[in-house]
């Protein structure tokens, strides 16, 4: 593929920062290397010495002085090298992308760490925007995948796969990813640890063709330099201690919890909302999407009436490109609320929907 045609003018003009390049070189160099290059702060002045992180299984992550020096220091813009290696091996195990065996110019799979998957999506601005011949597709619905791949192939499009809920699929086998089917080297995939390890760590990663990932890394060099090295080491130490098997075992525990939460919310919906809304039971994730009957726009219902009754939802139009367009949908999260709270929330929602339908007052 000709990846240069997908790069916007600003990104194409970016050149690697000599300072960042030298920082990367120094970190990969033997101890005998003497650096008088980068303005790297002297770690002896850092007020932090060591730290120990206790895990729920009773084990600990010990950050000795050697690890702390790395975790508190500038790091590679692409990510901590050891974490990148772990992630590459893991992506090959989970998705086995054909591009892992390609040459760089043909779209060899590459990875960079981002400050959460949201940051990774923001960094996609290296790609030319809103041009009909380079439009990127956002999608992750399995039964339409082959159709989308065919369209992307015929029109030479990129596919941006935003999939932070991949590890929250309730039934096996898990749906295949676009990355796993990418024979052309046209998929950029955004992953996140936010839903399965910690949202506050802000560690995600992009996987995609090396020529495009390199452009993302240049963007990182000119913006935030790199994702927090300390949080990267928190993730790395945990993954190294667990191994791939241990990580997937943790994922199973997370899935079990959210599946039970989903069942509780569906039970509450069946109890209160059958006459006023419709929905499909989710197969993954943290949310139940409701289509309200008899109301063309849920904005006022959610942002005024429900708020007055002390219950929060998200109106459907918040997820539209044009948020001024009416939407009969709303999103309810089952990630945090108790069974009692879900039941009470849907009881209040049902009453509000009936009142709105009867009065015909739904406009903003």
Which pLDDT tens digit goes with each residue over 73-115? 999 999 999 999 999 999 999 999 999 999 988 999 999 999 9
What's residue 143's pLDDT?
56
What's residue 31's pLDDT?
83
What's residue 245's pLDDT?
97
Rounded Cα distance, 315 and 300, in Å? 9
CATH second-level architecture of 251-359? Alpha-Beta Complex (3.90)
Buried b (16+ CB within 10 A) or exposed e, 275-312: ebbebeebebbbbbbbebeebebbbbbbeebbeeeebe
Q: Which residue has the higher pLDDT, 21 or 362?
A: 21
* Highest mean pLDDT: which range of 31-35, 123-127, 186-190: 186-190
Confidence of residue 361 (pLDDT cuts 50, 70, 90): low
Tens digit of pLDDT for each residue in 8-63? 888 888 888 888 888 778 777 888 988 888 788 999 999 999 999 999 999 999 99
**Is the pLDDT reported for residue 125 higher than 80?**
no
Where does CATH 3.90.1150.10 sit in the chain?
A: 251-359
275: nearest Cα among 354, 359, 331: 354
Given a contact cutoff of 8 angstroms between Cβ atoms, the answer to whether 167 and 197 are in contact is no
What's residue 93's pLDDT?
97
Confidence of residue 165 (pLDDT cuts 50, 70, 90): very high
What's residue 132's pLDDT?
44
Coil, helix or strand for 77?
A: coil
**Is the pLDDT reported for residue 135 higher than 50?**
no
- For residue 34, count CB atoms less than 10 angstroms from its CB and return exposed for 0-12, middle for 13-18, buried for 19 or more: exposed
Where does CATH 3.40.640.10 sit in the chain?
A: 3-40+74-227
DSSP 89-106: HHHHHHT--GGGGS-GGG
pTM of the model: 0.90
Coil, helix or strand for 192?
A: strand
Give me the phi and psi of 333, to 5 degrees please: -95, 135
Q: What is the mean pLDDT of residues 220-232?
A: 94
Tens digit of pLDDT for each residue in 290-340? 999 999 999 999 999 999 999 999 999 999 888 889 999 999 999 999 999
Report the CATH number of the 3-40+74-227 domain.
Answer: 3.40.640.10
């Amino acid at each position: 593929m000709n990846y240069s045609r997908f790069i916007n003018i600003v990104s194409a003009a970016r050149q690697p920062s000599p300072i960042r390049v030298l920082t990367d070189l120094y970190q990969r160099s033997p101890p005998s290397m003497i650096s008088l290059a980068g303005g790297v702060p002297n770690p002896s002045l850092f007020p932090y010495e060591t730290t120990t992180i206790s895990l729920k299984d009773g084990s600990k992550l010990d950050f000795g002085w050697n690890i702390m020096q790395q975790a508190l220091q500038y790091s590679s813009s692409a990510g901590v090298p050891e974490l990148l290696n772990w992630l590459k091996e893991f992506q090959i195990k989970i998705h086995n992308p054909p591009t892992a065996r390609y040459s760089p110019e043909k779209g060899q799979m590459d990875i960079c760490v981002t400050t959460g998957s949201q940051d990774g999506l923001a960094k996609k601005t290296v790609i030319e925007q809103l041009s009909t011949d380079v439009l990127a597709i956002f999608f992750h619905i399995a039964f339409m995948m082959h159709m989308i791949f065919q369209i992307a192939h015929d029109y030479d499009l990129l596919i941006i796969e935003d999939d932070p809920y991949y590890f929250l699929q309730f039934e096996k086998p898990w749906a295949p990813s676009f990355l796993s089917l990418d024979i052309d080297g046209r998929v950029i995939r955004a992953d996140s640890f936010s839903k399965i390890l910690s949202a506050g760590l802000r560690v995600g990663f992009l996987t995609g063709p090396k020529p495009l990932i390199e452009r993302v890394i240049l963007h990182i060099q000119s913006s935030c330099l790199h994702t927090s090295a300390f949080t990267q080491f928190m993730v790395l130490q945990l993954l190294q201690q667990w191994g791939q098997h241990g990580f997937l075992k943790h994922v199973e525990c997370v899935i079990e919890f959210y599946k039970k939460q989903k069942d509780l919310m569906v039970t509450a919906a069946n109890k209160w909302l059958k006459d006023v809304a419709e929905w499909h039971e989710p197969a993954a994730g943290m949310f139940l999407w409701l289509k309200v009957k008899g109301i063309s726009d849920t904005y006022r219902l959610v942002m005024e009436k429900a708020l007055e009754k002390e219950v929060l939802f998200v109106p459907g139009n918040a997820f539209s490109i044009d948020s001024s367009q009416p939407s009969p949908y709303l999103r309810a999260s089952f990630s945090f609320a108790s069974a009692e709270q879900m039941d009470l929330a849907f009881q209040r929602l049902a009453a509000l929907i009936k009142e709105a339908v009867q009065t015909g007052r739904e406009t903003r």
